[in-house]
Structure 1
Amino acid sequence: MLAGRITPKICPMSTSLRSLFLCSLLLAASSQAQEQGQYRSKILLDPLGEMGKGSEMSVAELEAQIDSIEQPYARSSAGRFLARHYVQQGDYDSAVAYYRQALAARGLADVANREMLRELAQVYLLKEDYQQAARTLQRALDIDLVPEATDFLLLAQAQYRLGNYVAVVAALDGIAAHDLKLDTGQLRQALALYYRAGAFEQSAAILRQLLQLEPDHAEHWHHLAAVYLQQNKQRLALDTLTLAQEKRIPFTAEQLLLLVDLQAATGNPYGAATTLQQAMADDGVPATSMHQRKLFELWLQARERKRAITALRSAARSSGDTELYLYLAQLQAEDRQWQQVEETVLSACAAPLADRYVSRANLLLGLSQLKRDRLEAARRLFINATLVGGANAQAAQWLQFMEAAPATEEELRRVVGPCYDSPGKKVSLAALSTTAATPAPVDGEEVAPASTAPVAEVALKTVEALRFYTSTQEETLEQLLPRVRSLAVGMNVSLVKAGGTANGPLSVLSLPEENALRLAMPVRGAPHARGRYDLYNAPAFKCAWIRIPQAEQQPLQVVSGLRERVIAAGYELTGEYRLLFLNDGEPGVEVQLGVR
């Protein structure tokens, strides 16, 4: 690619950099007649004069006599001839020496000197001496001639190798400044360099040009959306993907899910749910339990309750996830579908329950029995719910509401019923209905006021495993929050220089095994740790979550309040939490608390 700047179309592009350069040198000799004709007053037809007649003088003889050549043109021509010879031999040090000697003689016209500087720059690139390559290319551009776009591309390549990303952008900007046109291959080179340098505005402009040339090229559409996301322009990214879909551009499953997420993030959960449902119907996205759950959440946000319940039922059945079954039963209870509540909870209880689900399952099953006038079973199930943490307060309220007899000592010893963690202690629902209660008053018992309100649930999800680019912050959350946005700028620049790109919103991580907070950015690619920045591979993260409008101090109160709700719902906290700073048209913060 580096040598492609002086390589005519007949040189094969699949060969090595050295082969391309040698090819260009051989072809340059055949084209020299045109250059001689244009500058006949300065350039002789035989560049070596009498010494070159008949090609009888050997390279060794020419080297021995070059210092005695006084005529500037002959000295420059001889030096260039020897330089090209040593390039073909792979002796780049000798080639550099003769190129520099030929340039110092000042015997050739500016156009020839510029071509020689280009050749010298490419020798430096072959030697991986990028500093000298950049300086030589700048000398070529400083000559008062109309520049070529490939000069700027080569200069940008050299600066990129040096890690000078500002200089990379400056070199590429020279192409537009001189109103130079790029072909498709050159546009791709410029795009790659702009993107790696973090110049996303220019990357988007290049992609729009490529789309004009190749409107059916799927990668251009998806890359343009990705570049808009790098600039936090979610609406433009959504518009790009929507237009691509209308033009029947192919989408992968990952790209379809990105379209779904953008629709939801920009305030259109109905459109997101419709897109996801259609994608699963067309096999564009696999109909996994995870995607079914996502569909449920989107329909619920869109206030399409029946569709949400249908999606949740499919997700629960395909995954066997107890949590999804109980969430489904909660929705059915809100709709007073008591037969369905019973069936759903019993499906959840078909396998042994984890302790954290026992209280909620018994509470919901008790409600289904109470509303169907099965009072004995309802009483026992509510008592079960009071014996395990999570929904014990609500269960006590329902017991008071139904004016049930107090629990006996035997009933308080263990959970008895279909929803428990041990198969050996399970009792069928029918058996509970035929079991009579033996009243046993409990002195001094205070019961919470009766309430008919069902249990307040918390939203749960599992975040996939992510790789974060992080920096440790030795300050409190209160001190860090006002500075998060400004710190993100430097982090993003460092990430690009480290060879990665952002793959999600900026976050603050609090890990239970660490005493400090981490400012973190999910990444794609293979960045390396750089300076004060490190990499952290986070496993899948099950969490309770809530989204709130952007306000610098508000997350502090929300974290505390969400903790209380999670504990009241019967979940155990892991000690880890995350704050995600969203910017999707309606900026906000998502609070995530780790749960077991």
Structure 2
Amino acid sequence: MRILVVLLMLCAAAVQAQSINPAAFRALNEAQQAQQRGDYAAAGKRLQQALEQASTGSVEQALVEQRLGYLAIARDRNAEAIDWLRKALSRDQLEAEAASQDRRNLAQLLASEGQAREAVTLLETELAAGALPRENRRLLVQLYNQLEQYSKALPLAEQVVREEPGVDAVWYQLLVGMNYRLQRYQAAERWLKVLLKREPGNAEYWRQLAGVQSLDKRQRAAAGTLRLAYEGGIRFAVQDLDNLVALQVNAGAPWQAARLLEALLQRQLLQANAVRQERLAQLWQQARDHDRAKSAWTALALSSGRADHWLRVAAIQLNQGEWDELLSSLERARPAASAEQRRTLNQWAAYARQAQQEG
């Protein structure tokens, strides 16, 4: 999410009520008048003169540095403005309200210059003091997100949408994304459902909803979501549905991938062709669900008659010691087998018969 643009104060805060050197007071006023005329060079020169006359660590020094910072902002010199405002704040001489405003403006400048960590530190100080307006809280959320500090960002982001439910959809998307990265899939699902209430025809939200349900190991719910979207007129590309299955495979969850693929085939969201049937059987086998794998390979072998499919069935039966079934599968594989496959068939058949005799 892009960093929110917060309107910076382009003129310095009012001079503090406490007593300051009259010469410094006069210099500040003259510089302000020159800046208001657009004569930035004259304003800068007058402030530099006053700075040379100010005592180190004094309130006058802090006020002049503060004004130099805002003059740099007016001149679009962000790096220079950052330097001056840092110095002014380091004197610890500014009144609390002025210092608070300066910290918030400095944080905005730092954020715009890619210095997120320092910006966060300043905004956290203001947040702890209860002096962080809505715009700055939104900025802090985005900086936390940028720094991948999602746990800190989420409560503030939720505060944003509670205060303004009609806020731009990007805030709900941000909540979805941060919860997803923290593997809080049900929370991500909750915010996606809010987005779908706002945009029920958005296919991407439906895909994301099915995706987080799938990652939460609720494969039937994911397939049901896709079916519901389909019945509502949403059309998904075949690649989109295949990608949802691949998501589980890439996550190292072949059993969940198989469950999802099976549900998509059953609901006829994906066509049950030979390629997908073979993939389903492979996924069950990768998941070590031997019964489902054997059933899937058997169904595929019966429809295709291919020797390699029967050998897949036979391999499971061999591992499970199902000798009678193994011999039957080997015989079914034999008519379409190659010479190399027949050698395997003969070896496995001999092993099965020997095992039967020993048993």
Matches within 5 A, 1:145-544: 145-147=96-98, 150-160=101-111, 164-183=115-134, 185-217=135-167, 218-242=169-193, 244=194, 247-248=197-198, 252-284=202-234, 286-288=236-238, 291=241, 294=244, 300-301=258-259, 307=263, 309-310=265-266, 314-317=270-273, 323-327=275-279, 334=295, 344-345=303-304, 359-361=307-309, 382-387=334-339, 393=344, 395-396=345-346, 400=349, 447-449=350-352
Q: What do residues 462-496 of structure 1 show as CA deviations (whole Å, max 9, x unaligned)?
A: xxxxxxxxxxxxxxxxxxxxxxxxxxxxxxxxxxx
Q: Percent identity?
A: 16
Q: Aligned equivalents of 1:221 and 1:3: distance in 2? A: 21
Alignment match, 2:319: none
Is the CA contact (8 Å cut-off) linking 1:261 and 1:272 kept in structure 2?
yes
Is the CA contact (8 Å cut-off) linking 1:221 and 1:241 kept in structure 2?
yes
Q: Aligned equivalents of 2:346 and 2:269: distance in 1? A: 29
Question: How far is the alpha carbon of 1:323 from its aligned partner?
Answer: 3.0
Question: How far is the alpha carbon of 1:222 from its aligned partner?
Answer: 1.9
Larger strand share, 1 or 2? 1
Larger Rg: 1
Which of residues 71, 74, 77 is equivalent to 1:126? 77
Q: Aligned equivalents of 2:147 and 2:233: distance in 1? A: 37
Alignment match, 2:317: none
Unaligned runs of 5+ in 1: 7-20, 44-69, 347-357, 367-377, 401-446, 452-596
What letter matches 2:304 in structure 1?
A: V
Alignment match, 1:99: 47
Q: Aligned equivalents of 1:388 and 1:283: distance in 2? A: 51
SS where residue 236 of structure 2 aligns? coil
Unaligned runs of 5+ in 2: 247-254, 283-291, 315-329, 355-359
Q: What do residues 210-251 of structure 1 show as CA deviations (whole Å, max 9, x unaligned)?
A: 101221343222211212233444443344435x26855558
Q: What do residues 287-336 of structure 1 show as CA deviations (whole Å, max 9, x unaligned)?
A: 4155168579869537x96x45535793344xxxx532435789798289
What letter matches 2:46 in structure 1?
A: Y
Question: How far is the alpha carbon of 1:361 from its aligned partner?
Answer: 4.8
What letter matches 2:308 in structure 1?
A: R
Is the CA contact (8 Å cut-off) linking 1:156 and 1:168 kept in structure 2?
yes
Is the CA contact (8 Å cut-off) linking 1:153 and 1:172 kept in structure 2?
yes
Question: How far is the alpha carbon of 1:82 from its aligned partner?
Answer: 3.2
Q: Aligned equivalents of 2:222 and 2:269: distance in 1? A: 19
Q: Aligned equivalents of 2:118 and 2:153: distance in 1? A: 16
Matches within 5 A, 1:29-178: 71-85=23-37, 88-89=38-39, 91=41, 95-102=43-50, 116=67, 119-120=70-71, 122-123=73-74, 126=77, 128-129=79-80, 131-136=82-87, 138-139=89-90, 142-147=93-98, 150-160=101-111, 164-178=115-129
Question: How far is the alpha carbon of 1:173 from its aligned partner?
Answer: 0.3
Is the CA contact (8 Å cut-off) linking 2:141 and 2:156 kept in structure 1?
yes
Q: Aligned equivalents of 2:211 and 2:205: distance in 1? A: 10
What letter matches 1:310 in structure 2?
A: Q
Q: Aligned equivalents of 1:136 and 1:123: distance in 2? A: 18
SS where residue 129 of structure 1 aligns? helix
Is the CA contact (8 Å cut-off) linking 1:225 and 1:238 kept in structure 2?
yes
Larger helix share, 1 or 2? 2
Q: What do residues 81-135 of structure 1 show as CA deviations (whole Å, max 9, x unaligned)?
A: 33554xx3565xx543333434566799999769735523525752543651452
Q: Aligned equivalents of 1:89 and 1:286: distance in 2? A: 61
Is the CA contact (8 Å cut-off) linking 2:65 and 2:87 kept in structure 1?
no
